[in-house]
Amino acid sequence: SCGVGASIAPCLPSRRRCSSSPPGVDGVGGGGVDAPVRVRYAPSPTGELHLGGLRTALFNFLLARRTGGAFVLRIEDTDRTREVPHAADRLLQALQWCGVEPDEGPHTPDAPFAPYTQSQRLDAYRAAAARLVASGAAYPCFCSAERLDAVRAAAAAAGPRARG
């Protein structure tokens, strides 16, 4: 353990078993409170790290450290129209400056689940989609953008409905 969690948030409880889990749930991650958890922070590189994003990253980082798990940084760079050049690098630098060191992310290209930048995973996503279509679990949609907008507007106007 790096000890950062204890120095930043000494009020966090030490690792212990939780005896009040709901039926069928054995604490965090299904393995009890002592089980290591794998958590991620997935910002879009659309600007500088803000306090809300830092808070989310810090909570996940501390949970991973507390349980002996892994904190993963994944960059959601699929919205190219809003992407700011070098923002992903600056996000990582800001996290590191705050003591939030990801175990895996774009800075670990040889890690088991790399790449951690979404635009570099498009081939894997296409292959997964093809497998779903081939198995009958999904189908391609050839509707125009206008048709999809109309369907969404009609669903929003109808509002929620109860099943039954």
Tell me which of 30-39, 46-55, 86-95, 105-114 is least confident.
30-39
The angle subtended at Cα 44 by Cα 2 and Cα 106, nearest 5°, is 50
Cα-only R_g, the chain:
20
Beta-carbon contacts of residue 87 (< 8 Å; ≥ 6 apart): 45, 46, 47, 48
116 by Cβ neighbours in 10 Å (0-12 / 13-18 / 19+) ranks as buried
| CATH fourth-level superfamily of 4-116 | HUPs (3.40.50.620)
Token pair recorded at residue 119: 């635009």
164 confidence band (pLDDT: 50, 70, 90)? low
Average pLDDT, the chain: 85
Give the integer Cα–Cα distance in Å for 106 and 117: 6
DSSP state of 119: G
158/1 Cα distance (integer angstroms): 52
The answer, as to whether pTM is greater than 0.85, is no
Residues of the chain with CATH 3.40.50.620: 4-116
Please report the pLDDT score of residue 69 as a whole number.
Answer: 96
Average pLDDT over residues 97-124: 94
Residue type, 95: L
CB 117 within 8 A of CB 106: yes
Which residue carries 């929003």 as its tokens? Answer: 156
User: If 0-12 CB within 10 Å is exposed, 13-18 middle and 19+ buried, where does residue 130 land?
Assistant: exposed
